[in-house]
Every structure is written in C-alpha cells, then in structure tokens.
C-alpha cells in the first residue's frame, strides 16, 4: 500500500509522530513523508492511503487561527506556515481515490476544552470524499513553551499506526461527528 504522510508544526512534536507513523507505513509499502510545503499534490499520484496531522492551535489548526483577526499576534509570534495542511487539503481533487486518517498533537485535557486539529482535518478530508479509516487521534505534549511528547505517547502513536494500517488495508471507513 502506497502511503503519504503530510504534517505541519513548528516545534517538532507532530513531525515526531509523523516519523513514527512512517515507520509502520514502511512495513506496508512505499511511503512519502514530509511537511506540507514539501509534498506537492502531484506526489500523491498512486497513493492509496493519506495520513494528515499537525498541532492543535487555538482549538483547531492554523488555518482557522489565520482566519481570526484577533489572532494576528499569534501568527506574528510563531511564524506558522502561511497555508498549513488545511490550505493544502483545499487543493485536493474532490473524491480522491485514497482512504485517510488524521492526527494532531495537543496539550493534555478534555477535548472539549482543548480542541483538536485532528477532528477539523478529519472533517475537511471527509468533505473531499475521502474514506476515513479511524477516528481522529490526539497525541499529547507536555504543557509549556517547548513542545515535547509526553511519556508513553511515542508508544501510543506506534500502536495507533499499527491499528490504522490494519484498517486501511481492509478499507473500513468510520464516521465521526
Ligand atoms: C499559539 C498556540 C496555541 C495553542 N493552542 C492550543 C489549544 O487550543 N489546545 C491545545 O491542546 N494545545 C494548544 N497549544 C499547544 C500545541 O498544540 C502544542 O504546542 C503542539 O502540539 C506542538 O506541536 P508541534 O511541536 O508539532 O509544533 C497551542 C500552542 C500554541 C503555540
């Protein structure tokens, strides 16, 4: 199964999760993995499974932060990618032939309070007509300025990846929200 893993992030946690998922993807076939600006859509030719992820910022992903005037200072301080994964997804052809899964990194706490970029990305992919093979997943970082995955989260990402690729191979779509 040919897989593409596309992520964004400014501090490395989402990249770390993407690399863990890529290690499992490699067991199942060829894999391309990279930040959103490194993977032009043309590279998706022949891809059967797409994994998209990034940090939760202000309850969702950067695209939504960017849309909010009051968050201009956040953009100045953190220099996020201008378009982010959401912008990248906007250019996907409708009804792409691949199935997909989404993840985010975020601080610990209730999803309803912390928000989740993975759910926003999940919905964006579903609107494009992708089959989402699993529920959106969040991997937790230590609270504070420097993002670092919490203890046990690397292992959890690894187990998630195993389960996700099993489902992707059998193409089981799930519906959330
Ligand atoms: C400006 C900003 C806003 C954030 N907003 C949230 C949030 O709403 N919910 C949350 O759980 N974490 C939030 N965080 C923590 C980030 O999710 C965390 O730093 C992120 O997972 C780091 O990912 P990265 O290392 O891939 O950049 C925020 C962080 C920043 C810098």
**Tell me: the pLDDT tens digits for 5-33?**
999 998 999 999 999 999 999 999 999 99
Is pLDDT above 80 for 83?
A: no
Closest ligand 1 atom, residue 59 Cα: 8
Closest ligand 1 atom, residue 56 Cα: 17
Residue 107 lies in a domain: yes
Side-chain-side CA neighbours of 133 within 13 Å: the count stands at: 22
Q: 128 C-alpha vs ligand 1 centroid, how far in Å?
A: 26
Is pLDDT above 80 for 73?
A: no
Q: 161 C-alpha vs ligand 1 centroid, how far in Å?
A: 22
CATH code (residue 61): 3.40.50.360
Residue 175 lies in a domain: no
Write out residues with Cβ below 6 Å of ligand 1. Answer: 9-14, 55-59, 74, 78, 105-107, 114-115, 141, 147
Closest ligand 1 atom, residue 13 Cα: 25
Residue 24 lies in a domain: yes
Is pLDDT above 60 for 130?
A: yes
Q: Which two tokens stand for residue 80?
A: 């996020």
Domain count, the chain: 1
Q: Which two tokens stand for residue 125?
A: 């992919």
Residue 177 lies in a domain: no
Mean pLDDT of the chain: 86
37-56 pLDDT per residue, tens:
999 988 998 999 999 999 99
Residue 9 lies in a domain: yes
Which of 50-59, 66-75, 135-144, 155-164 comes out lowest in average pLDDT? Answer: 66-75
Whole-structure pTM value: 0.88
Q: Does residue 139 contact residue 53 with C-beta atoms inside 8 Å?
A: no
Residue 176 lies in a domain: no
pLDDT band at 172 (very low <50, low <70, confident <90, very high): low
Closest ligand 1 atom, residue 108 Cα: 11
Residue 69 pLDDT = 47
Which of 18, 104, 107 for mutating ligand 1's site (highest number of atoms within 8 Å of CB)?
107
Q: 19 C-alpha vs ligand 1 centroid, how far in Å?
A: 19
d(CA 47, CA 91): 16
Q: Which two tokens stand for residue 37?
A: 């600006």
Residue 39 lies in a domain: yes
- CA dihedral of residues 128, 132, 138, 139 (deg, nearest 10): -110
Q: Which two tokens stand for residue 161?
A: 């990846």
Domain membership of residue 153 as a residue range:
3-170
């Amino acid at each position: 199964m040919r897989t593409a893993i596309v992520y964004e992030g400014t501090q490395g946690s989402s990249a770390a999760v993407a690399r863990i998922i890529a290690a499992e993807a490699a067991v199942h076939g060829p894999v391309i993995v990279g930040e959103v600006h490194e993977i032009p859509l043309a590279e998706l030719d022949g891809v059967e499974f797409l994994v998209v992820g990034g940090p939760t910022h202000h309850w969702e992903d950067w695209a939504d932060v960017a849309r909010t005037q009051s968050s201009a200072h956040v953009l100045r301080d953190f220099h996020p990618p201008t378009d982010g994964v959401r912008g990248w997804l906007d250019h996907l052809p409708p009804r792409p032939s691949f199935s997909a899964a989404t993840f985010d990194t975020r601080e610990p706490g209730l999803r309803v309070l912390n928000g989740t970029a993975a759910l926003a990305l999940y919905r964006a992919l579903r609107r494009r007509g992708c089959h989402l093979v699993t529920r959106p997943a969040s991997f937790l970082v230590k609270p504070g300025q420097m993002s670092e995955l919490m203890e046990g989260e690397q292992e959890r990402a690894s187990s998630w990846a195993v389960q996700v690729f099993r489902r992707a191979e059998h193409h089981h779509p799930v519906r959330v929200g």
